[in-house]
Amino acid sequence: MENNVNHSDEQVLTDIYKSCKMGLESIAKLMPETKDQQLRQLMGSHLKEYQGFAARASQYLAEAGKAPEDAGFFEKIPSEVGMAVSRMMDSSDSKTAQMMINGYVMGVTELKKQQAEVTGLSENVVTLVSDMLSFQLQAINDMKQYL
Protein backbone atom coordinates (compact mmCIF):
# COMPACT_ATOMS: atom_id res chain seq x y z
CA MET A 1 0.00 0.00 0.00
CA GLU A 2 1.32 3.45 -0.74
CA ASN A 3 2.55 5.58 2.17
CA ASN A 4 -0.15 8.19 1.72
CA VAL A 5 -3.45 6.55 2.49
CA ASN A 6 -6.32 8.52 1.03
CA HIS A 7 -9.21 9.68 3.18
CA SER A 8 -11.56 7.02 1.80
CA ASP A 9 -9.06 4.24 2.56
CA GLU A 10 -8.52 5.56 6.09
CA GLN A 11 -12.27 5.76 6.73
CA VAL A 12 -12.96 2.22 5.50
CA LEU A 13 -9.92 0.70 7.21
CA THR A 14 -10.88 2.35 10.50
CA ASP A 15 -14.46 1.08 10.18
CA ILE A 16 -13.22 -2.45 9.40
CA TYR A 17 -10.85 -2.39 12.35
CA LYS A 18 -13.59 -1.21 14.73
CA SER A 19 -16.02 -3.80 13.38
CA CYS A 20 -13.48 -6.58 13.79
CA LYS A 21 -12.65 -5.56 17.35
CA MET A 22 -16.34 -5.51 18.28
CA GLY A 23 -16.77 -8.92 16.63
CA LEU A 24 -13.78 -10.28 18.56
CA GLU A 25 -15.15 -9.01 21.85
CA SER A 26 -18.62 -10.40 21.18
CA ILE A 27 -17.36 -13.84 20.20
CA ALA A 28 -15.02 -13.93 23.20
CA LYS A 29 -17.97 -13.21 25.50
CA LEU A 30 -20.26 -15.78 23.90
CA MET A 31 -17.81 -18.68 23.51
CA PRO A 32 -17.45 -19.66 27.19
CA GLU A 33 -21.23 -19.97 27.55
CA THR A 34 -21.62 -22.04 24.38
CA LYS A 35 -22.37 -25.68 25.15
CA ASP A 36 -21.97 -27.30 21.73
CA GLN A 37 -18.31 -28.16 21.10
CA GLN A 38 -18.60 -27.87 17.30
CA LEU A 39 -20.25 -24.46 17.56
CA ARG A 40 -17.54 -23.32 19.96
CA GLN A 41 -14.87 -24.52 17.49
CA LEU A 42 -16.60 -22.69 14.65
CA MET A 43 -16.73 -19.54 16.74
CA GLY A 44 -13.02 -19.97 17.43
CA SER A 45 -12.26 -20.15 13.72
CA HIS A 46 -14.38 -17.03 13.15
CA LEU A 47 -12.46 -15.33 15.94
CA LYS A 48 -9.20 -16.06 14.10
CA GLU A 49 -10.65 -14.67 10.86
CA TYR A 50 -11.59 -11.44 12.61
CA GLN A 51 -8.09 -11.24 14.11
CA GLY A 52 -6.64 -11.57 10.63
CA PHE A 53 -8.87 -8.86 9.16
CA ALA A 54 -8.11 -6.52 12.08
CA ALA A 55 -4.38 -7.15 11.60
CA ARG A 56 -4.59 -6.39 7.87
CA ALA A 57 -6.52 -3.17 8.46
CA SER A 58 -4.08 -2.16 11.19
CA GLN A 59 -1.09 -2.94 8.98
CA TYR A 60 -2.42 -0.86 6.08
CA LEU A 61 -3.11 2.05 8.43
CA ALA A 62 0.35 1.72 10.02
CA GLU A 63 2.02 1.71 6.60
CA ALA A 64 0.35 5.06 6.02
CA GLY A 65 1.45 6.41 9.39
CA LYS A 66 -2.04 6.12 10.92
CA ALA A 67 -3.04 4.35 14.12
CA PRO A 68 -6.14 2.13 14.25
CA GLU A 69 -8.96 3.28 16.53
CA ASP A 70 -11.09 0.99 18.64
CA ALA A 71 -14.80 1.59 18.89
CA GLY A 72 -15.55 4.04 21.65
CA PHE A 73 -17.37 3.19 24.85
CA PHE A 74 -20.63 4.71 23.65
CA GLU A 75 -20.45 2.84 20.34
CA LYS A 76 -20.23 -0.46 22.24
CA ILE A 77 -23.07 0.08 24.72
CA PRO A 78 -26.02 -0.93 22.46
CA SER A 79 -24.28 -4.15 21.46
CA GLU A 80 -23.23 -5.00 25.00
CA VAL A 81 -26.68 -4.39 26.47
CA GLY A 82 -28.48 -6.22 23.67
CA MET A 83 -26.23 -9.24 24.01
CA ALA A 84 -26.58 -9.36 27.80
CA VAL A 85 -30.38 -9.10 27.67
CA SER A 86 -30.63 -11.75 24.95
CA ARG A 87 -28.42 -14.16 26.90
CA MET A 88 -30.47 -13.62 30.08
CA MET A 89 -33.68 -14.44 28.25
CA ASP A 90 -32.29 -17.38 26.27
CA SER A 91 -28.80 -18.81 26.70
CA SER A 92 -29.25 -21.65 24.20
CA ASP A 93 -26.76 -22.35 21.46
CA SER A 94 -29.50 -21.58 18.96
CA LYS A 95 -29.82 -18.09 20.42
CA THR A 96 -26.02 -17.71 20.28
CA ALA A 97 -26.05 -18.64 16.59
CA GLN A 98 -28.87 -16.16 15.98
CA MET A 99 -26.90 -13.37 17.69
CA MET A 100 -23.81 -14.28 15.66
CA ILE A 101 -25.85 -14.19 12.43
CA ASN A 102 -27.29 -10.80 13.39
CA GLY A 103 -23.78 -9.45 13.91
CA TYR A 104 -22.59 -10.81 10.58
CA VAL A 105 -25.64 -9.36 8.80
CA MET A 106 -24.85 -5.93 10.27
CA GLY A 107 -21.27 -6.31 9.02
CA VAL A 108 -22.40 -7.33 5.54
CA THR A 109 -24.83 -4.40 5.41
CA GLU A 110 -22.11 -1.92 6.40
CA LEU A 111 -19.60 -3.34 3.91
CA LYS A 112 -22.16 -3.33 1.08
CA LYS A 113 -23.06 0.25 1.94
CA GLN A 114 -19.39 1.27 1.83
CA GLN A 115 -18.90 -0.52 -1.49
CA ALA A 116 -21.78 1.50 -2.95
CA GLU A 117 -20.96 4.88 -1.41
CA VAL A 118 -17.18 5.17 -0.96
CA THR A 119 -15.12 5.83 -4.06
CA GLY A 120 -11.43 6.01 -4.75
CA LEU A 121 -10.36 3.06 -2.60
CA SER A 122 -6.96 1.54 -3.20
CA GLU A 123 -6.73 -2.00 -4.54
CA ASN A 124 -5.60 -3.38 -1.15
CA VAL A 125 -8.63 -1.91 0.61
CA VAL A 126 -11.05 -3.11 -2.08
CA THR A 127 -9.58 -6.62 -1.68
CA LEU A 128 -9.86 -6.45 2.11
CA VAL A 129 -13.51 -5.37 1.87
CA SER A 130 -14.23 -8.17 -0.59
CA ASP A 131 -12.45 -10.78 1.54
CA MET A 132 -14.26 -9.69 4.69
CA LEU A 133 -17.61 -9.64 2.90
CA SER A 134 -17.02 -13.19 1.63
CA PHE A 135 -16.07 -14.33 5.12
CA GLN A 136 -19.16 -12.81 6.73
CA LEU A 137 -21.51 -14.30 4.13
CA GLN A 138 -19.93 -17.72 4.68
CA ALA A 139 -20.12 -17.24 8.45
CA ILE A 140 -23.87 -16.64 8.18
CA ASN A 141 -24.22 -19.94 6.33
CA ASP A 142 -21.97 -21.67 8.88
CA MET A 143 -24.20 -20.53 11.74
CA LYS A 144 -27.54 -21.48 10.14
CA GLN A 145 -27.11 -25.13 11.09
CA TYR A 146 -27.26 -24.17 14.78
CA LEU A 147 -30.60 -22.33 14.61
Sequence spans of domains, the chain: 7-144
In whole angstroms, give the CA distance from residue 133 to residue 130: 5
d(CA 69, CA 132): 18
Which one, of 94, 90, 104, lies nearest residue 147 by Cα? Answer: 94
Among the four given CATH numbers 1.20.1250.20, 3.40.50.300, 3.50.50.60, 1.20.1260.10, the one describing domain 7-144? 1.20.1260.10
Instruction: Give the pLDDT confidence of 80-136 residue by residue, as tens digits.
Output: 545 555 655 677 999 999 989 999 999 999 999 998 999 999 999 999 999 999 999
pLDDT digits (tens, 9 = 90+) for 31-59: 998 999 999 999 999 999 999 999 999 99
Instruction: Name, in order, each residue with C-beta under 8 angstroms of 59's C-beta and a sequence gap of 6 or more.
Output: none
